Amino acid sequence: MNLILDNVVKSFGKEAVIKGATFEFESGYIYGLLGRNGAGKTTLFNLINEDLIEDGGTIMVEENGTLRKAGNEDIGYVLSTPIVPDFMTGRELIKFFIDINKDKIENVKTVDEYLDLVDIPADSRDKLIRDYSHGMKNKMMMLLTVIANPPIWLLDEPLTSFDVVVAEEMKDLLRSLKQDKTIIFSTHIMELALSLCDRIVLLKNGKLRLLEQGSMTREEFEAHIIEVLKEGDSGC
């Protein structure tokens, strides 16, 4: 399933944030969405997820040659600030999520098998989520998306709260799952984007632009990204 943005516009009052964003995100790739602070990355995700309504343009999905609006089951959104029910334990949350989605989940695993996927320690699984660290709450949000397994994933700074080992494990998990998914990974950390993502897309001046590495070395590509982000920019 491809995600297609066509001339998407969004303003807040007199401030235009998204100014005609056009791009096709193709299935099977992890896209790194880079932009300077305030460029509108989270706004773009909120538009795709229909938490905000665009002022102009269209956001559609393409499946088997047919264009349509995305449904709730098409998109998984992992926010930078995790929103999980603090009054439940980790085990209770996963069991509850499986129970209410059992008709939609293929090849259902046990609760512990799912918790193993994101390395939630055994002695934390029956603790209230309110006592989890920020990183563990982020893992739980990521795990809900893994279980639901939607075709489009929006990941807003999901790995920045993880330690180095866990971040590498999560990157390996994303790589293993990307084959039939469109994954957009928003981050302000270029090193993270380049180490994980297949394609780099810049959000600059309210528009989307694909940057290709071509024959450039990693160092040359990094310098090119910074140059493009800085040119003609007053620091958005």
Above 70 in pLDDT, residue 161? no
Domain ranges of the chain: 27-54+73-230
Query: Cα dist. 178→38, 149, 196 in Å?
Result: 28, 11, 11
In this prediction, residue 236 has a pLDDT band, given cuts at 50, 70 and 90, of very low
The predicted model gives 204-219 an average pLDDT of 91
Read off the pLDDT of residues 8-37 as tens digits, 9 standing for 90 and up: 999 999 999 999 999 999 999 999 999 888
Residues 6 or more apart in contact with residue 165 via CB below 8 angstroms: none
Note the CATH architecture for domain 27-54+73-230: 3-Layer(aba) Sandwich (3.40)
What's the pLDDT score for residue 200? 95
Read off the pLDDT of residues 51-100 as tens digits, 9 standing for 90 and up: 999 999 999 999 888 999 988 889 999 887 888 999 999 999 999 999 99
